[in-house]
Structure formats: structure tokens, C-alpha cells
Structure 1
Amino acid sequence: MLIRIVSILFPLFALTALGYFVGRRMRPDLSHANKLNMDVFIPALIFAALANKEFRIAEFGSLTVATLLLVVGSGAAGYVLARLSGIAPKSFVPPLMFNNCGNLGLPLAVLAFGDAALAPAVVMFMVSNLLHFSFGAWLLDHRIKVWTVWRVPSVLATLAGLAVGIAGIEVWPPLMLATKMLGDIAIPLMLFALGVRLTDSRIASLGLGLYAAVARPVVGMLLAFAVLQVFDLPAQERALVVVFGALPPAVLNYIFAERYHQEPEAVASMVLIGNVAAVVFLPIALAMVLP
């Protein structure tokens, strides 16, 4: 089991570590690559998964609601913990509420459970992504117009993919292949860029960072097991829910905190230490769910 877990996690951490090493030595400017990933490659990945003729959104109704409860429940738990600890909720709630289901979650799902896990993993990413770009942005700046979330390329790809899938339209195979090829760029680039991004993070609040690094996966996994008592999901989706709960804070939390001037250095510490702590918590989650 240990060898299996290491073989699953090694590609994730190897690519991230390579990105960190290159970031430290070469200081590459990945702003354009990251924009391309967010605006082209990730939307292509999402569209290809949702528009696939084998994808049936109705089959993932329970998983969608379960993921929504996980994300909202994590945010509520983060608010309570922030109040009890005297921490600014706007700084602490997003890192607990929005996990790294993109950079780590999608590749981990495929490596651990095979290509068949990509579609449900994309559904979970879709739920978290929609909430992050709407409620998450509004939480940091109440002047944000939530209904403009549809302009985000990944959201547009989600809507387009769902429309094609629900309508039963079969995309021309060469076009679908081209879309999948674009989507295949997204996952390794996400991992590499995550490593590079972590070189820009600074540990300004070690105690706060450690607190969030432990609270995020512990709260997430506890909520995952609670949710699984309510929803009768297939075995693979049950495993994905537990792993989703164990994921560290999303790097996007730091980007949002910087954009909206909400203690970016403190959030950077939570993101950096949380993603390092994933070396401990992800193996625990995988050990719980792997057959």
C-alpha cells in the first residue's frame, strides 16, 4: 500500500518540486503561461470532459450537492474557527473553503483512480470554481457583481460543455481530439506553475500557516465522512470526496488576497505551508480509500 501511494503521489510532487527548483534558480515569468492555462488549457480540459458522449451530468447530481456541502461547510467551519481564534474571517475563511482541487485535485484523481475519475473530478472542480469566482470574490469585496462570473473562461467552458452533453450533441471527433490535446497541457502546467508560484510565497505568519495547514484537511475530511453518511455514492466518487476533503488551500486564494488587499502575506503563509503539509495528509486520505 505504501509503495502504491508513493507511486501515485510522486509525479505530483516531482513536477511541483521541479517547478519550485526552476523558480528558485531561473525566476521565470509564468504570468503569460498561467493566463493561457486559465483562459485556454483548463477550459479545454473542462469542455472535453463534460462534452464527452460518455458523460451524463444527471449521474453526478448527488456528487454535485455533496461537493457543494463540503465547500460551504468548510467555509462555515473556517468562520467559526476564525472567530474563536481572533483571526480575520476574510483572511482565514477562503483558504479553508477553497482547496487545491485544480492544481492537485485533477491530476491526483487521474493518477489514483484512472481516466474514468476525470469526469467526476471535473464536476467537483466545477462546483468549487463557480463558488470561488462568485462568492469567494464577493466575500473579499462586496462591490463585486456575482452574476458576471459567467465571463470567466472556465465557467464558459463549463456551461458550453454541459449544454453539449445535455443536448446529446456529438462533437466532430477531430475537433474533440484537438480539444483534448489542449486540455492535456493543463495538468502538468498546473503542477509546474504551482511549484514556481510557491517560490513567491513568504512565511509571514508561521503559527497561522500551521493552523490553517492542519485545519483545512482535518475539517475537510471530517465533513467528507459526514456527507458520505447522507449520500449513497458509488465507490469511486466516495473515494474522491474523501481525497477532495484532504486537499490543501488553493493557490488562487493568495492571488485573490493580493488582488483585494486582504492580508496577502498571511494568506500566502497558509497556502505555502498547507501545500507542503499535503505530503502528510494526502497519503493518509489515500490510505483510507484505496482498495
Structure 2
Amino acid sequence: MLIRIVSVLFPLFAVTALGYLVGRRMRPDLSHVNKLNMEVFIPALVFAALANKEFRIAEFGSLAVATLLLVMGTGVAGYVLARLCGIAPKTLVPPIMFNNSGNLGLPLAVLAFGDAALAPAVVMFMVSNLLHFSFGAWLLDHRIKVWTVWRVPSVLATFAGLAIGIAGIEVWPPLMLAIKMLGDISIPLMLFALGVRFTDSRIGSLGLGLFAAVARPVAGMLLAFVLTLVFDLSGQERALLIVFGALPPAVLNYIFAERYHQEPEVVASMVLIGNVAAVVFLPIALAMVLP
């Protein structure tokens, strides 16, 4: 079991570590690359997974609802913890609520459970992504217009992919292959860029960083376990939900905190320490779900 867990996690942390080393040595400016990934490669990945003729959205209805409740439930837990500990809710709630379901979640799902896990993992990612770009942005700035979330490329790709999949339209195979090739760029690029991003992060508040690093996966796994008892999910879906719950805070939390001037240094600490702590919590989650 230990060898299997290491074999699943090693590629993730190896590519991320390489990105960190390259970032420290070369200081590459990945701003344009990250924009390309967010606006081209990740939407291509999402579209290819959802527009696949073998994808049936109805099959993942329960998983989507469970994921929605998991994200909202961890947000409530974050709010309660913030009030109890005297922390600004706008600082603590997003890192507890929104996890790294893109950079780590998608590649981890494929490595742990095979290519068949990509479609449900994309569904979970998109539920979290929709909430993050709508409610998450509104939480930090109430002037945000939530309905503008449809302008986000990955959200557009979701709607387009779902429409084609539900309509039963088969995309011309050479075109679908080209889209898949673009989508295949996104996962290793996400991991590499995550490592580079860490070179710019600074630990501004060690105590809060450690607190969030533990609270995020603990609250997520506990709530995920409860939801697996409530919803009629397949074995793979239950495993994905628990692993989803164990994921660390999303890097996007730091970007949002910086954009809306919500203690970005503190949030950066939560994200950085949380992703380092994933070395502990992800093996625990995998040990719980791998046969």
C-alpha cells in the first residue's frame, strides 16, 4: 500500500518540486503561460472530458450535489472557525472552502484511479470552480456581479461540453483529438506552475498558516465521509469525494486575496503551508480509499 501511495503522489510532487527549483534558479515569468492555461488548455481539458460521447452527466448528478454540499459545508466550517478564533472570515473562509482541485485534484484522480476518473474529477472541479469565481469573488467584494461567471473560459467550456454531450452530438474525431492534445498540456503545466508560484509566496503568519493547513483537509475529509453515507455513490465516486476533501487550499485563493486586498500575505501562508502539508494528508486519504 505504501509503495502504491508513493507511486501515485511522486509524479505530482516531482513536477511541482521541479517547478519550484526552476523558479528559484531562473525566475521565469509564467504570467502569460498561466493565462494561456486558464483560458485555453484547461477549458480544452474540460470540454474534451464533457463532450466525450461516453460521458453521461446524469450519472454524476449525485456526485455533483455531494461536491456542492462539501464545498459549501467547508465554507460554513471555515466561518465558524473564524468567529471562534477571532480571524477575519474573508481571510480564512476561502482557503478552507476552496481547495486545489485543479492543480492537484485532476492529476491525482487520474494517477490514483485511472483515465476513467477524469470525467467525474472534472465535474467536481467545475462545481468548485463555478462557486469560486462567483460566490468566492463576491465574498471578498460584494460589488462583484455573480452572474458574470459565465465569461470565465473554463465555465464556457463546461456549458459547451455539457450541451454537446447532452445533445449526443459527436465532435469530428480529428477536431476532438486536437482539443484533447491541448487539454493534455494543462495538467503537467498546472503542477509545474504551482511549483514556480511557491517561489513568490512568503510565510507571513506561521500560526494561521498551520491552522488552515490542518483545518482544510480535516474538515473536508470529515464532511466528505458523512456525505458518502448520505448519497448513493459508486465506489470510485466515494473515493474521489474523500480525496477531494483532503486537498489543500487552492493557489487561486492567494490570487483573489491579492486582487481584493484581503491580507494576501496571510492567505499566501495558508496556501503554501497547506500544500506542503498535503504530503501528510493526501497519503492518509489515499490509504483510506485505495483497495
Which of the five TM-score ranges fits, normalised by the shorter chain?
over 0.9
1:109-258 superposed matches below 5 A = 109-258=109-258
**Counterpart residue type for residue 139 of structure 1:** L
**What displacement does 1:64 show?**
0.4
Cα deviation for residue 274 of structure 1 reads 0.1
Counterpart of 1:112 in 2: which secondary structure?
helix
State the distance in 2 between where 1:165 and 1:129 align: 20
CA drift at 1:135: 0.2
Offset, 1:182: 0.1
| Amino acid paired to 2:135 | F
- SS at structure 1 position matched to 2:87: coil
Name structure 2 gaps, 5 residues minimum: none
User: Sequence identity, in percent?
Assistant: 89
Q: Which amino acid aligns with 1:236?
A: Q
Q: CA offset at residue 32 of structure 1?
A: 0.3
1:10-66 deviation line (CA, Å, top 9, x unaligned)? 000000000000011110000000000000000000000000000000000000000
Q: 2:2 and 2:225 mapped to 1: Cα distance?
A: 23
Amino acid at match of 1:224: A
1:57 counterpart residue number: 57
Whole-angstrom distance in 1 between the partners of 2:17 and 2:221: 25
User: How far, CA to CA, are the matches of 1:28 and 1:181 in structure 2?
Assistant: 24
Alpha-carbon displacement from aligned partner over 1:202-242 (angstroms, at most 9, x marks no partner) = 00100000000000000000000011110010000000000
Matches of 2:237 and 2:172, distance apart in 1: 29
Q: Distance in 2 between matches of 1:192 and 1:2?
A: 25
**Counterpart of 1:207 in 2: which secondary structure?**
helix
In the alignment, the residues of structure 2 paired with residue 165 and residue 9 of structure 1 have an alpha-carbon distance, to the nearest angstrom, of 32
1:163 and 1:34 map into 2 onto residues whose CA distance is 27
TM-score by length of 2: 1.00
Counterpart Cα distance in 1 of 2:171 and 2:7: 35
Q: Letter of the 2:251 partner, please give it.
A: V
* Aligned amino acid, residue 107 of structure 1: P
The one-letter code matched in structure 2 to 1:3 is I
Using structure 1 for the length normalisation, give the TM-score: 1.00
1:40 corresponds to which letter in structure 2? V
Partner SS, residue 230 of structure 2: coil
Partner residue of 1:104? 104
C-alpha separation in 2, matches of 1:111 and 1:167: 30
4+ residue stretches of structure 1 with deviation over 6 A? none
Aligned match of 1:19:
19
1:259 match: 259
Alpha-carbon distance between aligned partners in 1 of 2:247 and 2:6, rounded to the nearest angstrom: 16
Q: Using the alignment, how far apart are the partners of 1:265 and 1:198 within structure 2?
A: 12
Report how many aligned residue pairs link the two structures.
291
The residue aligned with 1:289 is: 289
Q: Which amino acid aligns with 1:199?
A: T
The CA distance in 1 between the partners of 2:76 and 2:167, in whole Å, is: 36
Equivalents in 2 of 1:147, 1:243: separation in Å?
A: 30
In structure 1, stretches of 5+ residues that fail to align are: none
